[in-house]
Copies of this chain bind each other. A is one copy, B any other.
Amino acid sequence: MSASTPRRTGTRAAETAARKARLIDAALGLAAEGGYDAVQMRDVAARADVALGTLYRHFSSKDQLLLAALLDQAATLRDNLERRPPAGATPAERVADVLRRASRALERDPRVTGALVTALFVNDAAAAPIKAGVREHLMAMLGTALDGADVDDLEGVVDVLGHTWISTMAFWSSGLGDGVSMSTRLERAAHLLLD
């Protein structure tokens, strides 16, 4: 993909990529305004100045669209954590730091979080790969924070923490969080597993 000079940037491929980004932006914008239900495919397409058919060319369903947005966010979060690693002397503290930073981002905008988490739990075989990708990001973040912990079953701890994290998000965004911040709840879990 380099032999023939691809002319200049801003050609076809770049335009399509831009369109795709616009679509995700539009979806996030609508989600911010009214949550999952407000993300209507016709509106997403209109807001991104794209035909409905084109939206479906890029994302095979509403949930795939939201999952793509979620994957983006997870990847961004992971990048941030790599750029500025979690602080804390002990593994438990570093895990708490990761969870605190993540929760802050998520709680900032409950509607968006709710929409994305809803998509994460949708019943659709085609969504499995993206779900796996999201989980992979979360696990990697926890794994980094736990680096050097002296537990027998590191993988098991990451697994349990990951499940607790995800399920906590789901219940929290359903309004079943009992008002407790996600990070508080999750730090307790980390404490139980690591001390």
Contact = CB atoms under 8 A, between A and B. Distances in A.
Task: Sort chain A's interface into a size bin.
Answer: 35 or more
A59 to B, nearest CB: 18
Contact of A175 (B125, B174, B185): B125
Contacts of A185: 159
A182 to B, nearest CB: 11
Interface of A: 35-37, 114-115, 117-118, 121-123, 125, 127-128, 131-132, 135, 153, 156-157, 159-160, 163-164, 166-168, 170-171, 173-176, 185, 188-189, 191-193
Copies of this chain present: 2
B131 A174 contact: yes
A123 B128 contact: no
A188 B170 CA distance: 23
A122 B185 CA distance: 22
Contacts of A36: 123
B131 A123 contact: no
A144 B61 CA distance: 43
A167 B171 CA distance: 11
A149 to B, nearest CB: 12
A6 to B, nearest CB: 38
